[in-house]
Amino acid sequence: MILSVSRRTDIPAYYSEWFMNRIREGYVCVKNPMNIHQVSRISLSPEYVDCIVFWTKNAVPMLGHLDELSAYPYYFQYTVTGYGRDVEPHVPDKKKVILPSFMELSDRIGAERVIWRYDPILFTKKYTPEYHLRAFEQIAETLRGYTEKCVISFVDVYAKNAKNMASLEKYDMTDEKLGEFSGKLAEIAGRNKMTIASCAEKIDLQKYGIVHNSCIDRELIERIIDMPLKVKKDKTQREECGCVESIDLGSYNTCPHGCVYCYANYSQESVKNSCRKYSVTSPVLCGEIEPEDKVTDRKVKSLADGQLTFRLET
């Protein structure tokens, strides 16, 4: 199985101690977002975990745990943007904290396994295309040699982030203008020895040198583990998403970064309420197993081609 840690919240930044406790104990419990009393108990045995995909805006808290993860293949999706605290209010200083930690992470695990995400891109009076191009180039030049790939996307408005997005007075560009802008990003990435790809975008940017991306990336995982995988496209994601199937260990309404474009939080109050329930020893992130919960052992297996192991955890 492939673990996504996590699309729903920033586990490396805020919950690394909880995650490492789950690794040590060998299992984790995940509540169904649509029915919180349905709980899956998932084995974290290296026998079944083909790869862990970490998503973060701040990997600093994970740096001290990398040696303990040596039994697991993994890589990082590391978001570094040019936004200020008006958009990403609780992300640490990019120049002093985030970029140095990105480079340290790359030095320790290799540039192939640290993917730079410059996303989501939104346009406002402040964050104009010209602003983004300058910010992108500065970051790309800093990260040259520390990553092999950059992923971009353009912001989507959902019910959960619509109010915050409205306060920014964002504006849209035509597909033609987006294409021209994206082509300039591709040129900058190329000059800095990076490939560039788009995440779950309907617009076709291939003629500008940008291919559709798979964030849960079968090809990358196969290179990391040096073995083919038997895995299908993730049908729970958007049609434009190229990711393969994975199991997400996160919970919604638990990310304190407070980014205005975030789709994973209902409100900052809901995040505060969830964080009050955080315990590093609980099998569940920001919660506990309640008496009314139904805990079911999830069937887990390695997806590596040729592996025959299969077990129902008890």
Phi, psi torsion values for 237, nearest 5 degrees: -95, 170
Question: What's the pLDDT at 306?
Answer: 63
- C-alpha distances in angstroms, 301 versus 49, 75, 92? 8, 20, 38
Average pLDDT, the chain: 93
**Comparison of pLDDT for 238 and 196, the residue scoring more:** 196
Alpha-helical regions (H) of 192-243: 218-225
The residue type of 266 is: Y
**Comparison of pLDDT for 311 and 108, the residue scoring more:** 108
- Positive or negative, the CA dihedral 242, 248, 253, 257 is negative
What span, in angstroms and rounded, lies between the C-alpha atoms of 162 and 213?
Answer: 25
- Percent residues over pLDDT 90 in the chain: 83
Please give the average per-residue pLDDT across 181-209, as a whole number. 93
Q: What is the DSSP letter of 148?
A: S
Residue 235: band (very low, low, confident or very high) from pLDDT cuts 50, 70, 90: confident
pLDDT digits (tens, 9 = 90+) for 28-46: 999 999 999 999 999 999 9
What span, in angstroms and rounded, lies between the C-alpha atoms of 261 and 139?
Answer: 21
Residue 211 · residue 200 · CB < 8 Å? no
Question: What's the pLDDT at 308?
Answer: 45
pTM for the whole thing? 0.93
φ/ψ region of 151 (left if φ > 0, alpha if ψ in -120 to 50, else beta) reads beta
pLDDT digits (tens, 9 = 90+) for 123-176: 999 999 999 999 999 999 999 999 999 999 998 776 667 777 787 888 999 999
Least confident of 259-273, 276-290, 300-314: 300-314
What span, in angstroms and rounded, lies between the C-alpha atoms of 214 and 240?
Answer: 10
